[in-house]
C-alpha cells in the first residue's frame, strides 16, 4: 500500500551500540579459565578496554533479565484471552484472529475516485506475525472453526493468497506487545493505509471492486455477502 498514515504510537525504539564484551579463554589441564574485557563504543569504534567490573556485570545481568521479561510479555493477554483470538503460535510469533462485520474508516488513492469515509466491512479472518499480514473474508458472523470456508478479502492491495502488500508501510510491532496490542496494531495498519489497486490482475469479488466500495462508502449499508468469492481454503489450512 502507499500514502501511509503515520501511526507513531506503534513505532519502536532506535538502539545504538554503547559497549562490547570480549571473552578470552585458556585451558589448563581440565580447567577452563575465562577473562572478560569491556570496551566502550565511540562512533562505532571500541575504546577504553578494561576488565569487566562488578558494576558492569550487574548492569548486564539486569539488561538480560529485562529482555527476558519483554520476551515473556509478547502476545500475553492483559487479562482473560480475548474471545476473537483463534490460535497463537508462540514459536513463530503468529496469531490467528477474527473480527465481526463493522463500520470502518477507509482510505483510497485519488485515482480510484472513492471518497475517504466510513463503510461496512464483512467479518474477517486475520493471520499475522511481526512483519507480515494475511486477511480473508468470512461469509458468516459466527466464530469460525477449523472447517470454516474462507473467502477472498474484498479489498485492494491484497494478493490472491491473502497476503497484504505492505508497500511503503513501516511496520513496528513492539517486542513487548500484548495480544490485544498486537491485533489492534495490525488492524490499524491495514485500515489506516490507502487502498490503491488490484494485484496481479486478480479480482477478489464477484463484480467490480471499485463500484462495490463507491456504493458502500459513506453509508451504513450492510456489506453484501453475495459478492464474496470462495478461495477453496479453510481455516485449518492456515494452521499449517
Angstrom distances, CA of residue 110 to CA of 3, 55, 116, 196, 236? 11, 59, 9, 8, 38
Residue 210: inside a domain, yes or no?
yes
**What angle (nearest 5°) sits at the alpha carbon of residue 112, between those of residues 107 and 115?**
45
Claim to verify: residue 59 and residue 125 sit in the same structural domain: no
> Could you tell me if 131 and 171 are in contact, meaning their C-beta atoms sit under 8 angstroms apart?
yes
Question: Whole-structure pTM over 0.85, yes or no?
Answer: no
Claim to verify: residue 130 and residue 59 sit in the same structural domain: no
Quote the CA–CA distance of 131 and 51 in Å, as a whole number: 40
The residue among 57, 73, 89 that closes a domain is 73
Claim to verify: residue 91 and residue 63 sit in the same structural domain: no
State the residue range of the domain holding 62.
19-73
One digit per residue, the tens of pLDDT, for the chain of length 240 reads: 545 444 444 444 566 778 888 887 777 766 777 777 877 888 778 878 777 777 776 666 566 544 444 456 689 998 899 999 999 998 899 999 999 999 999 999 999 999 999 999 999 999 999 999 999 999 999 999 999 999 999 999 999 999 999 877 788 888 889 999 999 999 999 999 999 999 988 999 999 999 999 999 999 999 999 999 999 999 999 997
Residue 135: inside a domain, yes or no?
yes
Claim to verify: residue 233 and residue 178 sit in the same structural domain: yes
Task: Report the pLDDT value the prediction gives residue 36, as an integer from 0 to 100.
Answer: 78
> Could you tell me if 207 and 121 are in contact, meaning their C-beta atoms sit under 8 angstroms apart?
no
Quote the CA–CA distance of 240 and 221 in Å, as a whole number: 36
Claim to verify: residue 174 and residue 59 sit in the same structural domain: no
Q: DSSP 3-state assignment of 62?
A: helix
Claim to verify: residue 136 and residue 82 sit in the same structural domain: yes
DSSP assignment, residue 130? S
Claim to verify: residue 58 and residue 167 sit in the same structural domain: no
Claim to verify: residue 167 and residue 219 sit in the same structural domain: yes
Claim to verify: residue 53 and residue 83 sit in the same structural domain: no
From the centroid of its chain, how far is CA 58? 34
Quote the CA–CA distance of 142 and 139 in Å, as a whole number: 9
Residue 224: inside a domain, yes or no?
yes
Amino acid at each position: 500500500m502507499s500514502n501511509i498514515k503515520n501511526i507513531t504510537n506503534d513505532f519502536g525504539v532506535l538502539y545504538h551500540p554503547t559497549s562490547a564484551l570480549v571473552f578470552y579463554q585458556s585451558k589448563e589441564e581440565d580447567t577452563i579459565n575465562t577473562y572478560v574485557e569491556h570496551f566502550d563504543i565511540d562512533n562505532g569504534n571500541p575504546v577504553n578496554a578494561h576488565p569487566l567490573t562488578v558494576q558492569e556485570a550487574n548492569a548486564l545481568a539486569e539488561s538480560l533479565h529485562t529482555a527476558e521479561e519483554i520476551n515473556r510479555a509478547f502476545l500475553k493477554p492483559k487479562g482473560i484471552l480475548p474471545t476473537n483470538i483463534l490460535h497463537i503460535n508462540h514459536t513463530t510469533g503468529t496469531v490467528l484472529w477474527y473480527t465481526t462485520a463493522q463500520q470502518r474508516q477507509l482510505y483510497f488513492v485519488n485515482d480510484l475516485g472513492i471518497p475517504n469515509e466510513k463503510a461496512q466491512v464483512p467479518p474477517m479472518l486475520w493471520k499475522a506475525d511481526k512483519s507480515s499480514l494475511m486477511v480473508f473474508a468470512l461469509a458468516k458472523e459466527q466464530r469460525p472453526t477449523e472447517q470454516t470456508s474462507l473467502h477472498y478479502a474484498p479489498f485492494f492491495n491484497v494478493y490472491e493468497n491473502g497476503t497484504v502488500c505492505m508497500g511503503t508501510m513501516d511496520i513496528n510491532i513492539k517486542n513487548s506487545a500484548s495480544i490485544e496490542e498486537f491485533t489492534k496494531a495490525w488492524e490499524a495498519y491495514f485500515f489506516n493505509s490507502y487502498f490503491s489497486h488490484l494485484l496481479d490482475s486478480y479480482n477478489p469479488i464477484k463484480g467490480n471492486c471499485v463500484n462495490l466500495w463507491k456504493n458502500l462508502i459513506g453509508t451504513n449499508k450492510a456489506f453484501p455477502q453475495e459478492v464474496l468469492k470462495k478461495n477453496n481454503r479453510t481455516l485449518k489450512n492456515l494452521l499449517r
